[in-house]
């Protein structure tokens, strides 16, 4: 199909950049970890769901660098722990479970105050690791592949931090496409623009919101079969939460004739393979 469409697809294997802190998580955590050290914080506190790649990476980074770590987990504890939560506890992360209703208040001052009453002085990393320092790291990441010959870079989108960083790093020079993995992902446009003000200066980015497969961490048999076929054909493993949805979307857009002949796409493999459920 790629040859027939006259489109070249390159995949940057960020899933290979570290055994545990893989994909975009490395770049999102880099400057947050530096800031925590500069503030002399001994504990990292962050948030995520039961299958969170971010919790996984944060626990691993904290273990390697000598931080304590606390994870606020959305939902009730379920035993036995799934592989992700089992891993983070083995790396020393202390888990606190909160109801989904309470979890939705995690960004409020009241929630932050309650945490401060219960937990010793900590460095807070938002859900997904997304903040201005994460954008800085992902913008730096964009400069690492600026010498590659491509027309458009594609990335799966969760909280929007990685996409905001790529937009900043690309400086309007090449197209950037984000594939939200959440249902109704158009709301992320405002989130991305709030994270990186310069995005409003660039018209070279877009969101493809039709490839969520029902919502975050949801999947279908057809998506799983696509991922298996892709791996059998190209030898590249994908996950069903992020990168698999993006690659499906790219192939679908190619089939629709969305990209001009001669286009070279660069897809970012953002890791998360520990979350594969098949």
Give 31-48 pLDDT, tens digit per residue: 999 999 999 999 999 999
pTM of model > 0.95: no
What's the distance, CA 81 to chain centroid?
Answer: 22
Number of domains in the chain: 2
Residue 80: asked if its preceding bond is cis (omega within 30°), the reply is yes
| Mean of pLDDT values over 6-22 | 94
Q: Do 169 and 82 fall into the same domain?
A: no
In the listed set 129, 151, 179, which residue is the last one of a domain according to the structure?
Answer: 129
- pLDDT at position 274 is 85
Q: State CA 40 to chain mean position distance.
A: 27
Task: Identify the domain containing residue 197 by its residue range.
Answer: 2-19+131-275
Query: Could you give the CA distance from residue 253 to residue 218 in angstroms, rounded to a whole number?
Result: 21
Last residue of a domain, one of 107, 129, 151: 129
Q: In what order do the strands lie in the sheet with 205-207?
A: 8-13, 264-269, 152-157, 175-180, 205-207
CATH no. for residue 161?
Answer: 3.40.50.1100
3-state class of 62 per DSSP? helix
Shared domain for 179 and 249, answered yes or no, is yes
Asked whether the beta carbons of 105 and 111 are under 8 A apart, the reply is yes
Q: Which of 69, 94, 129 is the last residue of a domain?
A: 129
Q: Does the pLDDT value for residue 240 go beyond 70?
A: yes
| Average of per-residue pLDDT across 71-98 | 95
């Amino acid at each position: 199909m790629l040859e027939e469409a006259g489109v070249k697809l390159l995949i940057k294997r960020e899933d290979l950049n570290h055994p545990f802190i893989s994909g975009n998580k490395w770049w999102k955590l880099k400057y947050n970890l530096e800031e925590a050290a500069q503030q002399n914080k001994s504990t990292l506190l962050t948030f995520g769901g039961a299958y969170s790649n971010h919790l996984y990476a944060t626990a691993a980074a904290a273990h390697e660098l000598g931080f304590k770590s606390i994870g606020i987990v959305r939902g009730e504890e379920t035993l036995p722990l799934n592989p992700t939560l089992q891993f983070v506890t083995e790396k020393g992360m202390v888990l606190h479970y909160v109801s989904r209703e309470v979890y939705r208040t995690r960004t409020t001052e009241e929630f932050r105050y309650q945490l401060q009453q219960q937990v010793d002085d900590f460095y807070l990393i938002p859900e997904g690791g997304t903040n201005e320092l994460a954008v800085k790291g992902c913008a730096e990441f964009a400069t690492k592949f600026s010498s590659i010959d491509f027309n458009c870079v594609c990335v799966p989108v969760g909280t929007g931090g990685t996409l905001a960083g790529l937009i900043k790093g690309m400086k309007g020079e090449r197209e950037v496409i984000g594939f939200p993995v959440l249902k109704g992902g158009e709301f992320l446009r405002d989130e991305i623009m709030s994270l990186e003000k310069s995005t409003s200066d660039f018209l070279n980015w877009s969101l493809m919101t039709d490839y969520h497969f029902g919502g975050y961490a949801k999947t279908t048999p057809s998506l799983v079969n696509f991922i298996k076929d892709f791996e059998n054909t190209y030898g590249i493993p994908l996950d069903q939460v992020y990168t698999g949805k993006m690659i499906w979307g790219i192939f679908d857009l190619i089939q629709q004739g969305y990209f001009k002949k001669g286009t070279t796409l660069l897809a970012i493999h953002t890791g998360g393979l520990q979350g594969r459920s098949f």
